[in-house]
Structures are given as structure tokens and as C-alpha cells.
Amino acid sequence: MTRHAESIVENLTTAVVVADAGLRLQAVNPASEMLFELSAKQMLGQRLQRLWPQTGALTELFADTLQTAHSFTRRGLPLPLPGREVTVDLTVTALLPEGGAGIQDAALLLELSQVDRLRRLAQEEDLVDRHEAQRAVVRGLAHEIKNPLGGLRGAAQLLERKLAESEREYTRIIIREADRLQGLVDRLTGPSRPYLQAQVNIHQVFEHVRALILAEVGDGLTLRRDYDPSIPQFMGDPDQLVQAVLNLVRNSVQAPSRTVVLRSRVERQFTIGQRRHRLVLRAEVEDDGPGVPAALRETLFYPMVTGRAAGTGLGLSIAQDIARRHAGLIEYTSRPGRTVFTLFLPLRQEHDATG
């Protein structure tokens, strides 16, 4: 294979696997490593059924493809992975040897397309558009509230100066409530300070959040780690990312949950919104709580949307806003007993970072 052809295969977002007649893996591309969450060294030489037991039902089709050179496609196949399950479309093509060599020298080319990810791409674009529209409305509303709120507080202060000390109780209530509403409006609009650029280690962020949550909750919660130590540092705002992850973990703790898992992985050739990135961080917060109520699933990241009586409905909205400021996105999947919030962030090098 020429270097140009190798480069094309390495940059495909479709997972490509080559297996011999005995279904032992002979070649894999980087997208396959990402899909199976294994390195090429761990995959090569392994039997396909060991990595993906469900393919045992396709053994006869594999044999027929080697005999007849007729390719086949199976759609919607489940692919269980550690901590999650994805759905893929599988296309199998025979690679026959030249010169009429025996079938033992033939190979199978397997192409795996993660269809649940393709469906989510369309949902992501809609989520990004809705989030930007929502933030514009909130900022406009905040501006309209701040002006009369400032006037109200100022009038109360002027009135207070003309009253005796014993008569100032009600003006102080007005001032306190005005300050409380000002704080609420500020939280609605998200982080107000400028975006800072620094080297970020996602595991330091996780560990900081873990320490904070354990100090808040104490006993009764298990916080597990599932880290990929090879993930590089990237440019971002450490304090804002701590706030985003902290909001996600607090959301899980308040679900309520008994076990929360902090997980880090890398995705290659991954698309966020309209842009494709060579490397993307996948930071997950998984919990065993009751799941997101069906009535909230479409509006979960909107401000003031919450399923808890005591909740403000701002935590997830602020986390999503921080993700967007880092050119990233937060998604979630949920069912009773397993909810996963995933923070996707481009792993940009320092010279590629933008504010």
C-alpha cells in the first residue's frame, strides 16, 4: 500500500478491519482502535469473535463471502463495549489473493459505521443551534431586567437615607431581593469573566471535582475513576472546566445516585457541530440514578429547567455554555440505572488554540 493510500485509510472516520480466513485480525485503522477502545497491538492477532461475540452468528456469511466474493451488509448490529453499547452497520468484502491462490490466503475487509453516532450528529447540530438561540434570548432578557433592577435598588437606597433606623426594614428587604435577583441574572448569562488560556490536564480537573464532591457529600456515595492516562494536555480555562464538570457531577449526585464514574477517553476524526477534529476528548460522568424524566429530555440544557423542587435549573445550562466557549459540546444518554453526560472537547495544541 502506498503512503498516500495508508494516509487515506488512517484518516477515515469509518472503522476498517482486515481479517484472515480464520477471522484473526491482520490490520486495523485508527478509527477501529477508537471504536473498540483498544490499541492496534491489543487487537492484531485476536479472533474477531473474541472482540465482538455477536459476530459468531455471521460465521456462515463470512465463509460464503470468502467462497463467492459476494459482499454483504448487516445494519443495526449491537457492539457491546466497556461501560456502553453502540450500534453499527457492518459491510464485509472479500479480498481475494492474486494468481488463484487458495482460499486460506484470502482475507475479509470489514467496514463498521457507528450509526448511533451519525444520528447524534444531526441532533448535535440542532442542539448547538438551539443553545445559541437560547443564549441570545437569555442575554437580551437579562439586559432588560438589569436596568430596572438597578433603578429599583438605587431608589430603595435613596429612600433608606430619609428614614429613621427603625423604619428601614422594608427598604433593606427590597435591596436584598434586588441583589439576589442580580445574582440570578448573572448566573443566567453564564461566566462573565474573559476566557483564559492555559494548559489543562483533564484528570487534574476530575480529581479537583472529586475532592470537592466527597467533601460535600461525605459517606453514601462511591466516586470511581476510569481514566485513560495517555490523554494529552490541551488549551482551555481550567477554572471554567472545573465548574462545568462540577455541575455535571452535582447533577448526578442530586439525581440521586449511589455510584458516579468519572471516565476519560479520546476520539479520533470526530465532528462537533460543523467542524471535524483530529483528536477530541470524551469526558464522561456516569451515574446509576433513575434517569432523566421524559418530560425534560428535549429542554434539559435550557436555563431554569429542573426536575428538583429545590433546583435552580442553571447548572447544566452553564456547563453547556462553558463547553461551547471551548468549541465543545455536552451530550447525554439516559435510562433508569444508567445516565451518562459526555463532555466533548477538541484536543488542540497550544499554537492552534483560540479564545
Domain ranges of the chain: 3-116, 195-355
Kindly give the confidence (pLDDT) of every residue in the chain, 355 residues in length, as a single tens digit, with 9 standing for 90 and above. 555 556 667 777 788 999 998 999 999 998 888 888 888 899 999 999 888 888 888 888 998 888 888 889 988 888 887 767 788 889 999 987 765 555 567 899 999 988 766 555 555 566 566 666 666 666 666 667 777 888 888 888 888 888 888 888 888 888 888 887 777 777 666 655 667 789 999 999 999 999 999 888 877 899 999 999 999 999 999 999 999 999 999 999 988 899 999 999 998 778 787 787 888 999 999 999 999 888 887 778 776 666 555 555 678 888 988 898 899 999 888 889 999 999 999 996 433 333 3
pLDDT at 102: 54
Q: Do domains 3-116 and 195-355 have the same CATH topology?
A: no
Which residues fall within 8 angstroms of residue 171, CB to CB, at 6 or more apart? Answer: 156, 157, 159, 160, 163
C-alpha separations of 87 from 90, 117, 225, 294, 302 in Å: 10, 8, 25, 22, 29
What distance in Å separates the CA atoms of residue 9 and residue 13, rounded to the nearest whole number?
9
Give, in order, the Cα–Cα distances in Å from 60 to each of 23, 56, 63, 67, 96: 12, 9, 5, 11, 18
The reported pLDDT for the residue numbered 309 is 52
What pLDDT does residue 346 have? 93
CATH architecture of 3-116: 2-Layer Sandwich (3.30)
pLDDT of residue 353: 39
Tell which CATH architecture fits domain 195-355: 2-Layer Sandwich (3.30)
Peptide bond into 53 cis (omega under 30): no
Three-class SS of residue 193?
coil
What is the per-residue pLDDT for 160? 87
343 vs 341: CA distance, rounded Å? 7
Strands 107-114 and 84-95 come out as antiparallel
As given in the structure block, the three cell numbers for residue 335 are: 435510562
